[in-house]
Amino acid sequence: MSTPLRVLRLAVVGHTNTGKTSLLRTLTRDPAFGEVLDLPGTTRHVEGVRLLIEGSTAIELFDTPGMEDGMALLDYLDTLAAPGARLDGPARIQRFLDSPESMRRFEQEARVLRKLLECDAGLYVVDARDPVLAKHRDELAVLASCGHPLLPVLNFTHSPDHRIDEWRSALARLGLHAIVEFDTIAPPLDGEDQLYDKLALLLDSHAPTLRALRRDIAEQRRQRRLDGLSLVAEMLMDIAALRLSSPPDDAALQGAAEQLRRLARQREQQCIDALLKRYNFRPADFPAHALPLRGERWDMDLFHPQALKEMGIHLGKGMAAGAMAGATLDMFTAGISLGAATLLGAAAGGLWQGADKLGRRLLGRLRGFQELTVDDAVLRLLAMRELALIAALERRGHAAQGPIEITELIAGKADALRKERLPEDLLEARASPEWSTLTEHYQPTARRAQAVKRLTTELDEPGHTRVPADSCAPGESERHASREVESCRTKR
């Protein structure tokens, strides 16, 4: 049996309105933790949350109220030392906590210091846009008196007016050399790794816990990504395999094309909802995507030719605007009687295999009907935008309050999806209507399950199967980083 990990207790402290509660939201992947407002004095009480590894507590994190008047408090602490008595930092803080002022003027500060004294270390959250002022230095002097390591966490680092260098040199002058840059809205992909690595340096007796947490976070991140890609692969299979038959007259075909589009849009929305849930975000975080999609940007309707053009996807004939946009008449049965299909099948073996798969009875039923499928270009668009959404979710902190933006995140790697032959498994889905859960012909088969698995791998590195193995950068797949830990809350 392995030895239980030593629980690490961390107080999140700092000046008011610097993003302490936001940091906790991001570290716990919980957008509902605490209260976050752009106002000083939002958090009034200490609130705790645990990070678990396999059900056991690894870290206890405590959100604390903001420090408001560090200068006055430092002056007051100076008055507490009895003449001739030399008190060390923690003894001085304890004396303050036992004094009446800790219940009155400095009530908020007392809550912070009481918690920091009890903990193993503090994360000192800084708004990196603030100039370094005497109030910050005094506040840090008071916090340092608790006798525990402090790790400064520079927040708001993406702001154009940040003063990271100024803060780094001011903190170094105060003896704080280990510093983390961690924007809580959009943390660096390896932000948590850096944070826990630096803590391990400051707290070597807790290093095994921190290492275990890092491993767990990496594992959860990888699993989350695979689950996300698998949700996308399932959606692509459903839509690639979707085929609707219609009598060959214009009105009926237009109706069928509209139904095809509706089913595909709904299926995409279902996939988006599932992705948001898997990454612990809320539907409200991605409001631009409410269906039907409108607008002039690339997140417009799935079947709008402009949406494809903007993604650099070539428009096939089927994507012409108008009533049939995005629906392709399937050449395999389109307007071809069974007899003609037999002839054509004989000439083009591949198509005839499809006919076999579909079954003669079904094929018979379709005689005189036309079949509609979703255009390849739409499948490409679906794959690319869901991959972009996953990339955005991996980079988003749970403290973020603005809508998810995905415009910028189409990586060069997606070129394979944009231009090259569609993955084999999607081509097979094309000829396998029973693979689509969207119609009554759906049949779960081991072959479909394997195809989803392969497509999931293919989506992880689009085009990778076409690249010689030795040209892949080592550790490539590790670049898509994010995090997850289980968490549970305790109110104090």
DSSP state string for 242-271 = -EEEE-SSHHHHHHHHHHHHHHHHHHHHHH
Of the candidates 110, 170, 185, 382, which one interacts with ligand GTP according to CB under 6 A? 185
User: In angstroms, what is the minimal distance from the CB of 188 to ligand GTP?
Assistant: 12
Q: Which stretch binds Mg ion (CB under 5 A): 18-26, 90-98, 206-214, 410-418?
A: 18-26
CB of 156 to ligand GTP, least distance (A): 5
* CB < 8 Å & 24+ apart, contacts of 255-258: 256/327, 256/372, 257/323, 257/324, 257/325, 257/326, 257/327, 257/372, 258/323
CA distance 289 to 272: 9
Residue type, 41: G
Q: Is 20 in the site for ligand GTP (CB under 6 A)?
A: yes
Nearer to Mg ion, 42 or 457 (CB): 42
For residue 247, cis peptide bond before it (omega within 30 degrees of 0): no
Tokens 């008011």 belong to residue: 16
Which partner in Mg ion, ligand GTP, none is near 19 (CB below 5 to 8 A by kind)?
ligand GTP
Cβ distance to ligand GTP smaller for residue 280 or 439: 280
Q: Which residue is nearest to ligand GTP (CB)?
A: 66
10, 11, 29, 66: residue in contact with ligand GTP (rule CB under 6 A): 66
Give which of ligand GTP, Mg ion, none residue 350 binds (C-beta under 5 to 8 Å, depending on kind).
none
Comparing CB distances to Mg ion, the nearer of 21 and 373 is: 21
Task: Kindly tell me which of 163 and 430 has the beta carbon lying closer to ligand GTP.
Answer: 163
Binding mask 107-146 vs ligand GTP (x if CB under 6 A, - otherwise)? Answer: ----------------------------------------
**Residue with Cβ nearer ligand GTP (188 or 463):** 188
Residue 41 vs 359, nearer CB to ligand GTP: 41
37 touches ligand GTP (CB under 6 A): yes
Report what 41 binds from Mg ion, ligand GTP, none; CB cut-off 5-8 Å by kind: ligand GTP
Whole-number Å distance between alpha carbons of 317 and 327: 10
Residue 284 touches which of Mg ion, ligand GTP, none (Cβ within 5-8 Å per kind):
none
Residues 32-51 that bind Mg ion (CB under 5 A): 42-43
How many C-alpha atoms does 359 have within 13 Å on its Cβ side?
7
Distance CA 274, CA 139 (A): 44
21 binds Mg ion (CB under 5 A): yes
Residue 210's nearest CA partner among 398, 420, 59, 45 is 59
- Using CB under 5 A as the binding rule, whether residue 22 contacts Mg ion is answered as no
- Binding residues for ligand GTP, rule CB under 6 A, total 22
Say how far apart CA 398 and CA 401 lie, in whole Å.
8
- What are residue 161's DSSP bridge partners? none
- Pattern of binders to ligand GTP over 371-400, x per CB under 6 A? ----------------------------x-
Q: Which of 28, 145, 184, 209 binds ligand GTP (CB under 6 A)?
A: 184
Among 18, 145, 245, 482, binds ligand GTP (CB under 6 A): 18
DSSP codes joined into one string, 343-390: HHHHHSHHHHHHHHHH-HHHHHHHTT-EEEEE-HHHHHHHHHHHHHHH
* CB-CB contact of 43 with 62 (8 Å): no
Sign of CA dihedral 79, 85, 90, 95: negative
Overall size of the chain counted in residues: 492
What's the alpha-carbon Rg for the chain, to the nearest Å? 29
17 binds Mg ion (CB under 5 A): no
Nearer CB in complex with Mg ion: 21/108: 21
Q: Does residue 48 belong to the site contacting ligand GTP (CB under 6 A)?
A: no
Q: How far is the CB of 400 from ligand GTP (least distance, A)?
A: 8
For ligand GTP, give the closer residue by CB, 36 or 390.
36
Residue 48: CB minimum distance to ligand GTP, A:
15
The whole-angstrom distance between residue 2's C-alpha and the CA centroid of its chain comes to: 32
Are 40 and 68 in contact by the 8 Å Cβ rule? The answer is yes
Minimum distance of ligand GTP from residue 68's CB (angstroms): 8
| Position 36 contacts ligand GTP (CB under 6 A) | yes
User: Applying CB under 6 A, does 47 fall inside the site for ligand GTP?
Assistant: no
The dihedral through the CA atoms of 228, 230, 236, 238 has a sign that is: negative
Can you spell out the DSSP letters for 54-119?
TTEEEEEEEE-PPB--HHHHHHHHHHHSPTT----HHHHHHHHHHSGGGGTTTHHHHHHHHHHHHS
155 binds ligand GTP (CB under 6 A): yes
Three-state DSSP at 228 gives helix
Cβ of residue 244: shortest distance to ligand GTP, in angstroms?
Answer: 46
Distance between CA 326 and CA 377 in Å, rounded?
8
**Residues making contact with Mg ion (CB under 5 A):** 20-21, 42-43
**Residues making contact with ligand GTP (CB under 6 A):** 16-22, 36-38, 40-43, 66, 155-156, 183-185, 399, 401
